[in-house]
Amino acid sequence: MNTKLGYVLLAAGKGTRMHSDSPKVLQTVLGKPLLGYVFDALRQVPPNIVWTVIGFGAQEVRSVFSGRDLQFILQEEQLGTGHAVSLAWPEVEASGLSHICVLNGDTPYVPVDEVEALASMCAEEGAAMGMLTLELENPFGYGRVIRSSEGTVLRVVEEKDFDAVEHGGEVHEVNSGVYVFDVGRCSNLLAKIDRDNAQGEFYLTQMISICSEAGLPIVGMPFGNSELLRGINSPMDLVNFEETLRDWIVSSHLHAGVILRNANSIVIGPDVEIEPGAELVGPCEVYGCSRIERGAKIASHCWIKDSILGSCQVKSFSHIEGSRVWAGATVGPFARLRPGSDIGQNARIGNFVEVKNTVLHVGAKAGHLSYLGDSEIGAGANIGAGTITCNYDGVRKHRTEIGAGAFIGSNTALVAPVVVGEGALVGAGSVVTKDVPDGVLCVARARQTNIERKKR
């Protein structure tokens, strides 16, 4: 039987146990928000049939995902999961969907294939709803699945309301938080959810007992004891999941042909691309949409985010963000490339050099102790130690242009906006406030005067 399936994502909670001022769904795993994993898993689903219910920190959530085509529904007062779904339900009904899947935004893994199979099972068996369940040795913290003697799902009892004696002993089958509802059958039943529980909230899990009492079938599809569907409710849950995912990602790159030395101390984000033949030495961290190409060598203690690295060499203790480093270039040690940096072929950024929104063309070099901001540096130019591009006047940023083959002496201040011509030489210790023509020597400093000291 054909089903038309949409999704409602529950992302309104504060997550008190996380002890954070930010919404729980914005806690990061390998540099990526939990809710971002859910959105990415559903990227093939048309955005007009995915609704995200937000509440605590709603504006922060909107801001983080402002670049995506998303439908948000505001839950101003967080009265539970049942209340959250009821807010989205008018949109669901109007969409013409046959089934809707409800997911928690704090569970990064979305078993799309299993959800679709569950929806098909619900349709085939005429079930009002279905759910994925887990079998856990230690079920503490999870809602327990209560079945009849025939194995039919009757209800789910939340942790705070569960009593092992009352329910005939410990129950190890738990609710994964992944549901599928038949929209037509459940529309009139959703309003029957009440707040008669320890938390005084509208639990979506009550729909199980409501459907059961109405004589409507409920499907419970076991998902084994997988760690992947366990929600993240505490800092320990967060870092345990992160370590599990980190290990899986590192192993995947190793099997693909990437050389990862001291692999246990290497962190690689889920959206990072690394070509076989690249080499990284731990400890190091690579995040965001970074790409590291074949032949690149990244030494230990480096931090890289949203950057593209060709067949270059990055030496220890370097920090690279939002930058491009081309083949043959060297960076570091102790270098910092800030967003907008473009380091050309065979160019060199040495120790304690900071670069921001600057292009270094082929073979240009800045060996040590310099700041290059909002600049364009020509091919083969040499930037002496202690050079500073003074790019900010207190109100606006200004650009510095240094021509091909120019030589900037040590301890020079280039007060932008300023142009140093091709082949020009700027004497050490100069403060350059005017353009320097091609091929000339510029000395912009006071004449040295030696004065006899008075003897005491």
What are the residue numbers of the active site?
368
Compute how many other C-beta atoms are within 10 angstroms of the C-beta atom of residue 9. Answer: 29
70: helix, strand or coil? coil
189: helix, strand or coil? coil
Phi, psi of 441, rounded to the nearest 5 degrees: -100, 125
CA dist 27 → 170, 237, 246, 305 (Å):
32, 11, 16, 18
Residue for token pair 């099997």? 255
DSSP 282: S
The span from the CA of 9 to the CA of 4, in Å, is 17
Q: How far, rounded to the nearest angstrom, does the alpha carbon of residue 68 sit from its chain's CA centroid? A: 14
Helices (H), 126-189: 183-186
Sign of CA dihedral 226, 230, 235, 238: positive
- Closest by Cα among 58, 56, 40, 42 to 8: 42
The span from the CA of 148 to the CA of 157, in Å, is 14
206 close to 199: Cβ distance less than 8 angstroms: no
Torsion of CA 162, 165, 171, 174, to 10 degrees: -10
